[in-house]
Structure 1
């Protein structure tokens, strides 16, 4: 049904709202404009201040309506601080419902870890609920990236990947830049910013919740999903891990995809090394990319993840190729 027909039908049936057909048509009109709501996922407490609305899926589908990344929030004495707002207006609205089951305090700040849409398109819901003066923090490079075509590109991609389930989501950009090493005090909780160059992207912000010894790491590491490395760097990721661990010490590392753990950087780093090291060795030995891929697939650090890791089959070849290309630059 065309948009004009749906809007006309929605307006025309106000006096007959009790008719089953009329109610259905009105619902279809509203869903066409905004997309259907996302089902509730109760928040899990991770530490004294921090909770998470966990996404079991690592990629967007029609069925999950784009719910593919975690929404993390900290309850402070001054209000709620959200770290990554989700992939749509509807996901952000669901997260707000879940926050309100934990506390009646308002959301007073949002952090966006980087510019991929599943981590910031939910900003729309928080601004819609708490006002456009709500501080939304991100690295300057993330803000600049989203000012261009990137913001609308991600909005369009989410609509396509979910068969229009995220329709109605507006691009709401981060409005407050942060810098590496900056500490933002919100109520009784301190949030320390970390950025050590290119890892998953050139703009990865990790947010340390100081009092809880917990750091939200965005997509620089994942528990059970193969990470997008199209704009990233294997060498940069290893350097990032080393610098982050040196600066923050022992932490509960909480990713944007999957469950957190104290050894997340170690275990995911081993997986990445299982891709990187065979590729680097193949380049040094003058072997082809195909031979490098064969070595990667045999590496036990990679092979042990093959069955259970989300996105493995569809992406291991691509990210091996990227490792091989980066190894060529490193070796020469």
Structure 2
């Protein structure tokens, strides 16, 4: 390639990227995360800045940036999962980093309203992308920050789940997360592992497949607070395609046994003392309806009908986001699990 042609190519490419960004409401910034064809010139299109969502104080030095309801859209820019942070003696600990580079940066802006301490640890509760794609922003700030997850979560993100969730979130948000780079966990934790952050201890709970095969819950020991990830949600029904109703009931039992009278922080919805109680009631209504259908050798459609007749399900249906669109799928999943358990 001649020098003249190379200069023309680079100038044309810059104008193209800039025009694409302006047309889409995006910004164009230097690429810092992948190898460059022309190191000094390579550019990448970034999605728009995520509007600030102020953090809600849960107790002293523990905060949650509570996400709006719903699923990823162009309007919410993928902001559908809570970002929780604790300000400890040793620095800031993040539990679930959000669904994009932009959301992670927004979280950092909220953290800086309370402290200048560095982020010293991130926990990813499982491999669904709305809980870890924000890792990019924190590693951008500190390349050496440890990111903790269950070994199966780390493995899944490094393999198919990483690119799958990045692509899914890009499509769902109209490329609002553009510029986000898959940034997997780099440290593995397991059941009863404890990390000391001075005045706060983070204890890991893992009880097998619940929402996914590798959900971890993070107990802030001194506060009697437990972040449960997506094992339980507030006014939203947990995605169960990768999970287990029976495994979820087991996780509920074990968590309540391990941390009686805990304050539960979900990754979707507001924290509450009765979070697990309400989730258990709804899930039992759906699963027991499926068990009834299996016992009667009825169909998955009958399982849905039985669930809709259950008083517990009737109670929660009006307040659970996405219930009408998803109850058929959840009844079918419960039916398949109940059928397998019966044999």
Q: Same fold (TM over 0.5)?
A: yes
Residue matched to 1:119: 131
Alignment map for 1:49-198 (pairs within 5 Å): 49-130=61-142, 132-198=143-209
Say if 1:10 and 1:26, in contact at 8 Å, map to a contact too: no
Match of 1:281 among 287, 292, 308: 292
- In the TM superposition, residue 133 of structure 1 has moved relative to its aligned partner by 1.1
3-state SS, counterpart of residue 210 of structure 2 = coil
- In the TM superposition, residue 59 of structure 1 has moved relative to its aligned partner by 1.1
Structure 1 stretches lacking a partner, 5+ long: 12-20
- In the TM superposition, residue 107 of structure 1 has moved relative to its aligned partner by 0.7
- In the TM superposition, residue 226 of structure 1 has moved relative to its aligned partner by 1.2
Say if 1:7 and 1:29, in contact at 8 Å, map to a contact too: no
Residue matched to 1:293: 304
- In the TM superposition, residue 49 of structure 1 has moved relative to its aligned partner by 2.6
The Cα RMSD (Å) is 2.0
Say if 2:189 and 2:204, in contact at 8 Å, map to a contact too: yes
- In the TM superposition, residue 250 of structure 1 has moved relative to its aligned partner by 1.5
Distance, in Å, in 2 between the alignment partners of 1:223 and 1:76 is 27
User: How many residue pairs end up in the alignment?
Assistant: 319
- In the TM superposition, residue 307 of structure 1 has moved relative to its aligned partner by 2.2
TM-score by length of 1: 0.92
In structure 2, relative to structure 1, the CA distance for the partners of 1:4 and 1:54 (3 Å cut) is farther
Residue matched to 2:58: 46
- In the TM superposition, residue 7 of structure 1 has moved relative to its aligned partner by 2.6
- In the TM superposition, residue 168 of structure 1 has moved relative to its aligned partner by 0.3
Distance, in Å, in 2 between the alignment partners of 1:221 and 1:281 is 24
Residue matched to 1:30: 28
- In the TM superposition, residue 288 of structure 1 has moved relative to its aligned partner by 2.0
Distance, in Å, in 2 between the alignment partners of 1:286 and 1:116 is 34
Distance, in Å, in 2 between the alignment partners of 1:70 and 1:176 is 22
Distance, in Å, in 1 between the alignment partners of 2:157 and 2:93 is 22
Distance, in Å, in 1 between the alignment partners of 2:46 and 2:69 is 22
- In the TM superposition, residue 30 of structure 1 has moved relative to its aligned partner by 2.3
TM-score by length of 2: 0.89
User: Any idea what the Cα deviations from partners look like across 1:25-84, whole Å, max 9, x if unmatched?
Assistant: 796452870100110001011012310111022311110000000000000011100000
